[in-house]
């Protein structure tokens, strides 16, 4: 995909406004870290790795704009807190802010101009590393995509949701680039329509055949044998493999299990929260019910009716066939495998 979801330019953070896609390609030029926080909250940028990158760039931007080193630590903490308070579920957001904090504290005694450059460089490293990680995820997962199959995906775990390339869509891209030919079914993904607007747009640009369905169509297609594999992204994976992803993922996983269809999650290791033992401890974002009620500017619900909007759900590990990461495809029992790979990470 040629369009970049986010980049640093001349002391500003440029963020592609994903709410306007595919109709318009418009960048929001953030001059202050509070604007970056706002773009995360209001879904202009979304997808776990992408909001992690945005938060890191927001931290760098906040420090970049400081005119003096007066009360530096206090002001740095405030910047981090504002970006932390944007969305609660995606682990990559907290992981990226922690990484920026480490960089800050290891260079705290440098001059302010030096510190600014260190932080800006770190944010750009997070972005570049994410793209490289996505490519490895693609390489590791592409053997699962056999010629002639139909793959179902939910929401958007593509280039737009990451630094570029994508996780679930990265696997599909890598397979396609290797010459394997297959079809994709994309769930619409109510209410932000990440599947219909973003996944379909990305796949169309690659020339990968894609058909959009309503979220509730998946079971019917599975019953007819029309789906061979499900692959989705993740917002947070607990240490036992339980996975939070876009609302509706849990239902798909159960349907896939019932119909004997392999169900894969593709995610970078930074999505795994080793401090959370299981999915019940993952904080699930609840967004305003009125976001469900509007189709564009038009309210389609009766005035005054209640609407309940959980943005994510948790798929228990027992429904997951494998987790495709940059370190390889993790298979059950996940707890043991995640533990082993995380130790490998710590030891470099
Ligand atoms: O609410 P969103 O659009 O941020 O939700 C995004 C998802 O659920 C994605 O599947 C997930 O973040 C993985 S992105 C590689």
Of the pLDDT bands very low, low, confident and very high (cuts 50, 70, 90), residue 344 is confident
ipTM of the complex in this document: 0.99
CB atoms closer than 10 angstroms to residue 73: 11
| H or E, element range at 151 | strand 150-153
Residue position matching structure tokens 């299981």: 278
Q: Is the distance from CB of 96 to CB of 56 less than 8 angstroms? A: yes
Domain count, the chain: 2
Cα separations in angstroms, 55 against 35, 80, 98: 11, 8, 10
Q: What SS3 state is found at 342?
A: helix
CA pair distance 246, 310, nearest whole angstrom: 9
Catalytic residue among 130, 215, 235, 242: 235
Q: Is the CB of 162 under 6 A from ligand 1?
A: yes
Domain end, chosen from 135, 158, 188, is at: 135
Q: Is the CB of 161 under 6 A from ligand 1?
A: yes
Residue at 73 is within a domain: yes
Average pLDDT over residues 136-165: 98
Residues 149 and 194 in one domain: yes
Of the pLDDT bands very low, low, confident and very high (cuts 50, 70, 90), residue 1 is confident
Instruction: Find all residues with CB under 8 Å of 153, minimum gap 6, and list them.
Output: 168, 169, 172, 184, 185, 186, 187, 195, 199, 230, 231, 232
Q: How far is the CA of 295 from the centre of ligand 1 (A)?
A: 20
CA pair distance 6, 18, nearest whole angstrom: 11
Q: Is the CB of 198 under 6 A from ligand 1?
A: no
Q: Percentage of the chain surpassing pLDDT 90? A: 95
The pLDDT value recorded for residue 108 is 87
Q: Is the CB of 233 under 6 A from ligand 1?
A: yes
* Bridge partners (DSSP) listed for residue 152: 185, 230
Residues 65 and 143 in one domain: no
Average pLDDT over residues 192-221: 98
Residues 158 and 278 in one domain: yes
pLDDT at 67 over 80: yes
pLDDT at 18 over 90: yes
- Joined together, the tokens standing for residue 182 give 């297959």
List pLDDT tens digits, range 282-312: 999 999 999 999 988 899 999 999 999 999 9
Burial 159-196 (b: 16+ CB within 10 A, else e): bbbbbbbbbbbbbbbbbbeeebebbbbbbbbbbbbbbb
Residues 129 and 148 in one domain: no
Nearest CA to ligand 1 atom 6: 47
Residues 42 and 150 in one domain: no
Residue at 1 is within a domain: no
Residues 129 and 141 in one domain: no
* Mean per-residue pLDDT of the chain: 97
Q: How far is the CA of 272 from the centre of ligand 1 (A)?
A: 14
Q: How far is the CA of 46 from the centre of ligand 1 (A)?
A: 6
Residues 300 and 336 in one domain: yes
Q: Is the distance from CB of 237 to CB of 167 less than 8 angstroms? A: no
CA pair distance 297, 282, nearest whole angstrom: 32
Nearest CA to ligand 1 atom 5: 47
Is residue 293 a known part of a binding site?
A: no
Is residue 246 a known part of a binding site?
A: yes
Q: Is the CB of 287 under 6 A from ligand 1?
A: no
The pLDDT value recorded for residue 348 is 41
Residues 166 and 291 in one domain: yes
Residue 117's domain comprises 6-135
Q: Is the CB of 49 under 6 A from ligand 1?
A: yes
Q: Is the distance from CB of 236 to CB of 333 less than 8 angstroms? A: no
List pLDDT tens digits, range 224-281: 999 999 999 999 999 999 999 999 999 999 999 999 999 999 999 999 999 999 999 9
| 17 a catalytic residue | no
The pLDDT value recorded for residue 347 is 47
Is residue 47 a known part of a binding site?
A: yes
Q: How far is the CA of 78 from the centre of ligand 1 (A)?
A: 26
Of the pLDDT bands very low, low, confident and very high (cuts 50, 70, 90), residue 346 is low
Domain of 231, CATH number, reads 3.40.50.10470
Q: How far is the CA of 314 from the centre of ligand 1 (A)?
A: 13
pLDDT at 52 over 80: yes
Domain end, chosen from 135, 151, 183, is at: 135
Domain end, chosen from 135, 167, 192, is at: 135
pTM above 0.95, yes or no: yes
Is residue 194 a known part of a binding site?
A: yes
Average pLDDT over residues 137-154: 98
Domain of 129, CATH number, reads 1.20.120.420
- Cα angle 19-24-26, degrees, rounded to a multiple of 5: 75
Helices assigned H by DSSP within the chain: 33-41, 48-64, 72-84, 91-106, 112-141, 168-177, 200-206, 218-223, 249-258, 290-293, 334-346
The pLDDT value recorded for residue 345 is 52
Residues 263 and 241 in one domain: yes
Q: Is the CB of 160 under 6 A from ligand 1?
A: no
Q: Comparing C-alpha atoms, which of 84, 94, 143, 89 is closest to residue 311? A: 89
Q: Is the distance from CB of 164 to CB of 191 less than 8 angstroms? A: no
List pLDDT tens digits, range 76-130: 999 999 999 999 999 999 999 999 999 999 998 999 999 999 999 999 999 999 9
């Amino acid at each position: 995909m040629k369009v970049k979801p986010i980049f640093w330019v001349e002391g500003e953070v440029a963020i592609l406004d994903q709410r306007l896609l595919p109709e318009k390609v418009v960048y929001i030029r953030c001059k202050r870290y509070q604007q970056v926080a706002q773009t995360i909250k209001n879904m202009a940028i979304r997808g776990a790795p992408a909001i992690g990158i945005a938060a890191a760039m927001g931290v760098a931007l906040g420090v970049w704009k400081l005119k003096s080193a007066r009360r530096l630590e206090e002001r740095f903490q405030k910047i981090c807190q504002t970006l932390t308070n944007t969305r609660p579920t995606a682990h990559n957001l907290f992981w990226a802010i922690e990484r920026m904090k480490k960089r800050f504290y290891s260079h705290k005694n440098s001059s302010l101009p030096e510190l600014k450059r260190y932080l800006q460089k770190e944010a750009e490293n997070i972005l570049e590393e994410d793209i490289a990680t996505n490519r490895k995820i693609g390489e590791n997962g592409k053997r699962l995509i056999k010629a002639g199959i139909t793959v179902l995906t939910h929401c958007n775990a593509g280039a737009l949701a990451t630094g570029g390339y994508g996780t679930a869509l990265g696997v599909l891209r890598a397979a396609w680039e290797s010459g394997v030919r297959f079809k994709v079914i994309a769930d619409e993904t109510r209410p932000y329509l990440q599947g219909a607007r973003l996944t379909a747009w990305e796949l169309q640009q690659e020339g990968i055949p894609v058909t959009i369905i309503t979220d509730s169509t998946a079971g019917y297609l599975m019953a007819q044998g029309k789906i061979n594999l499900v692959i989705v992204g993740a917002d947070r994976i607990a240490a036992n493999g339980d996975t939070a992803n876009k609302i509706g993922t849990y239902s798909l996983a159960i349907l896939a299990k019932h119909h004997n269809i392999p169900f894969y999650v593709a995610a970078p290791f930074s999505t795994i929260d080793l401090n959370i033992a299981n999915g019940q401890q993952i904080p699930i974002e609840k967004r305003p019910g009125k976001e469900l009620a509007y189709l564009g500017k038009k309210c389609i619900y009766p005035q005054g009716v209640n609407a309940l909007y959980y943005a994510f759900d948790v798929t228990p590990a027992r429904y997951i066939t494998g987790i495709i990461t940059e370190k390889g495809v993790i298979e059950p029992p996940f707890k043991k495998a995640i533990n082993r790979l995380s130790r490998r990470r710590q030891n470099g």
